Amino acid sequence: MNECYYDKRMDFFYNKTKTDTADEWTGPQLIVVLCFGTFFCLFIFISNSLVIAAVVKNKRFHFPFYYLLANLAAADFFAGIAYVFLMFNTGPVSKTLTVNRWFLRQGLLDTSLTASLVNLLVIAVERHMSIMRMKIHSNLTKKRVTFLIISIWAIAIFMGAVPTLGWNCLCDITVCSSLAPIYSRSYLVFWSVLNLVVFFIMVVVYIRIYMYVQRKTNVLSSHTSGSISRRRTPVKLMKTVMTVLGAFVVCWTPGLVVLLLDGLNCTYCGIQNVKRWFLLLALLNSVMNPIIYSYKDDEMWGTMKRMICCFSEDKSQDRRSSRIPSTVLCRSTDTSGHYIEDGIIQGTICGKGDLGDKGNS
């Protein structure tokens, strides 16, 4: 019967698998990775929060597609949390971790990847339902969308916890991987192949849908008198989704290929030298998505810009109002009237976008 090593620290497994990456995460390389990681994580938190707030604030985004897009932003936000936890538990610290803490570190990363992947798959289904009927949005109810979002996170949490539930090498260290010293190599093969297959399926589906939309749009454009912008709306949404999917595949595929090679026990592939950079590339995906949303969707960018404007204006008004009492005592009534007039003007500028939205809605 094999002996299990639940009570060992990670240095035991790093030594058994001859993994020396924990010592390599020192010096200038570690500083560069941490600096870029910190900057990226801050941007991830701020930008994805703006995306979620924009979907909540703008009633034009109250449709299944945008709810799922907001959930994808939430998955990116969660990825930022996972990377922050990783930064505080990597490098030389890796060898001092307990088994449970290391499982938590990797489980957070796996959960964020699965949440993004399943969410993109659900968006593909939503787009298929809509596009095949030549509609901008599907007929999914809010209850069904809520159920889908809950299901996405349930699947993501379960997949992130699979190694903790038993698919590991704590009781058979001969099958431990090199990159993940307490993950079984068979699990890495399963994990990487599953994700790569889903990538391929989604790419094929989106290419098929996009070709269908282009063909239908060209046929209908000569027989309908609807506005050009309205006929192009489904195409614009498809371009946004395909750009997001393309960035996701490009950023995550190298890391998954490295995991697959490790699972296949490729000892001559030099995977230890590239894994940290592929991890940063995966982190970059959560940075790119909010930029893609704002660049591809003018309405999204406009809503985010108005929220930033109003936030900055509110802060300046709060600072100015805190100085009004002392200033009014020292100056004449006419001067205080100028302060009030300035406040009215600023409030009008800040609320201009909202009034425009109400008028257009």
Domains of the chain as residue ranges with CATH: 10-220+235-310 (1.20.1070.10)
Long-range contacts of 82-88 (CB under 8 A, 24+ apart): 82/108, 82/109, 82/111, 82/112, 83/37, 83/40, 83/41, 83/44, 83/109, 83/283, 84/41, 87/34, 87/37, 87/38, 87/41
| Residue 331, phi-psi category: left (phi > 0), alpha (psi -120 to 50), beta (remainder) | beta
User: Is residue 67 exposed (0-12), middle (13-18) or buried (19+ Cβ within 10 Å)?
Assistant: buried
Q: What is the mean pLDDT of the chain?
A: 77
- Residue 37 has a pLDDT of 79
pLDDT at position 329 is 36
**pLDDT tens for each residue of 242-297:** 888 888 888 888 988 988 988 888 877 777 777 778 888 888 888 888 888 777 77
Between 82 and 14, whose confidence is greater?
Answer: 82
Angstrom distance (rounded) from CA 348 to CA 340: 12
Q: How many helices (H) and strands (E) does the chain have?
A: 11, 0
Whole-angstrom CA distances from 252 to 14, 109, 113, 351 are 25, 12, 9, 41
> At 101, which amino acid appears?
R
- 161-206: pLDDT as tens digits: 999 998 998 988 888 888 888 999 999 999 999 999 998 888 888 8
**Which tens digit of pLDDT belongs to each residue from 88-104?**
888 778 888 999 999 99
Write the pLDDT tens digit of every residue in 289-329. 888 877 777 788 888 888 888 766 655 555 554 444 444 33
What is residue 111's predicted lDDT score, i.e. its pLDDT? 94
Q: What's the CA gap between 11 and 14, in Å, rounded?
A: 5
Distance from C-alpha of 69 to C-alpha of 294, rounded to nearest angstrom: 12
pLDDT of residue 161: 94
Q: CA 185, CA 178: separation in Å to the nearest integer?
A: 9
DSSP assignment letter at 95: G
**Farthest CA pair distance, the chain:** 91
The pLDDT value recorded for residue 123 is 86
Whether the Cβ atoms of residue 236 and residue 136 lie closer than 8 Å to each other: no
Residues in a beta bridge with 183: 168
pLDDT at 131: 73
* Residue 312, pLDDT score: 64
d(CA 229, CA 220): 13
Three-point CA angle 361, 143, 124, nearest 5° = 80
Half-sphere exposure of 78 (CA within 13 A, CB side): 21
Q: For 221-234, write each residue's pLDDT tens digit.
A: 665 555 444 455 56
Residue 22 has pLDDT above 50, yes or no: no
Taken in order 145, 147, 150, 151, the sign of the CA dihedral is: negative
Distance between CA atoms of 179 and 21, rounded to whole angstroms?
A: 8
